[in-house]
Amino acid sequence: MIVSILAPFTFGLSFFLFGMYAMRTGFQNLAGKKMEQWMGKFTRTPIHSFWIGLLSTFVLQSSSAVTVLTIGLTNAGIIQFSQTVGIILGTNLGTTVTTELIALKLESFAIPMLLIGVALWLMPRRAVRCTGLVVAGFGLIFLGIDTLKLMAAPLEQSETFRSLFLESRHSIGVGLLTGIIFTGLIHSGSATTVITMGLLAHNVLSMETALAIVLGANIGTCFTAVIASIGTNTASKQVAWCHTLFNVAGALAFLPFLPQLALVSAFLTENPSMQIAHSQTIFNLVCSLVALPFTSHIARFIQWLIPDKRNPSKRV
């Protein structure tokens, strides 16, 4: 029983994370150098910063990677902390693009995409090779999803898991904590969301608990940024903690309304995976749009919370 759960989990997660890495590498080689220039040049207003954060997250396939990049640019003095709040709001919405694509259930294209990607990667032209990495990355992601599905059936039949599940399936707090810890360990909110989709499809989780895990995954993605800010200047620490506090506040604000969020997503689609994807999109869209007009206020609050001791009079 343990092997039938651990084997697909280990291989599936490995395929998924390696696929994310391959996509990120391909996209970064295609547009990575220009992205730093864009982030430095087109972040003068909150709206511009928001779109840069959204597009950069889609390119790098990781909100944590964009936040770490933002920390690096802030630490180097290329952009100011006040410019980063919009980027942070955009990264949260950018992560939902990948989730929506994953929810389309394109696993049958996994092997063809992998083969096409490898064939393109063997071509001499650099742009074609990078495109091949992106395509192969998508193939690995879908292969990982297909493999992860194999662990749902043994979990569903496990008496031990069933007893634990019956006690915690309606515990929103346990779901939130699970999403935070698991995402913090594997450094991928998308992987946590995919596993949650698989368990929900096999009725191993209730919708409210699954949504709580996804909210927890949003918080868990901040661990990488907090670690990356260690040893940097005050502005970089402000970026990391702004991202963390915003995600925590958004999750706590939505937590009492998970049944309503589940009803809205169920109205939009009958597919459980799509319901998770749509719920995550709605959550991040609402949080970002509500906060966007108040970016300067958020920046002042974070600067008050984490003051620059070398220059205490500095303001936004």
CA angle, residues 312, 73, 223, in degrees to nearest 5? 85
CA-to-CA dists, residue 210 to 19, 157, 259, 291, angstroms: 24, 19, 11, 25
Highest mean pLDDT among 41-55, 81-95, 135-149: 81-95
| Residue type present at position 140 | L
Q: Give the closest residue to 285 by CA, choosing from 36, 118, 99.
A: 99
Cα of 44 vs its chain's centroid, Å: 25
How many other C-beta atoms are found inside a 10 Å radius of the C-beta of residue 127? 11
Average pLDDT over residues 177-196: 79
298 close to 242: Cβ distance less than 8 angstroms:
yes
315 pLDDT tier (thresholds 50, 70, 90) = very low
What does the pLDDT read at residue 311?
A: 59
Answer whether residue 275 shows pLDDT above 70: yes
Who has greater pLDDT, 143 or 301?
301
Q: Which segment of 51-55, 92-96, 196-200, 311-315 scores lowest on mean pLDDT?
A: 311-315
Q: What is the pLDDT of residues 60-113, one digit of tens each?
A: 666 777 777 787 778 777 778 888 888 888 888 888 877 777 777 666 677 888
Q: What is the mean pLDDT of the chain?
A: 78
Using DSSP, how many helices (H) and how many strands (E) does the chain show?
16, 0
263 pLDDT tier (thresholds 50, 70, 90) = very high
Answer whether residue 115 shows pLDDT above 70: yes
Interhelix angle for 81-102 vs 126-148, to 10°? 60
Average pLDDT over residues 119-123: 87
158 pLDDT tier (thresholds 50, 70, 90) = low
Q: Give the closest residue to 138 by CA, choosing from 55, 56, 24.
A: 24
Q: What is the pLDDT of residues 216-237, one digit of tens each?
A: 988 988 887 787 777 778 888 8
Q: Give the closest residue to 78 by CA, choosing from 51, 47, 43, 31.
A: 43
CA angle, residues 51, 54, 101, in degrees to nearest 5? 135
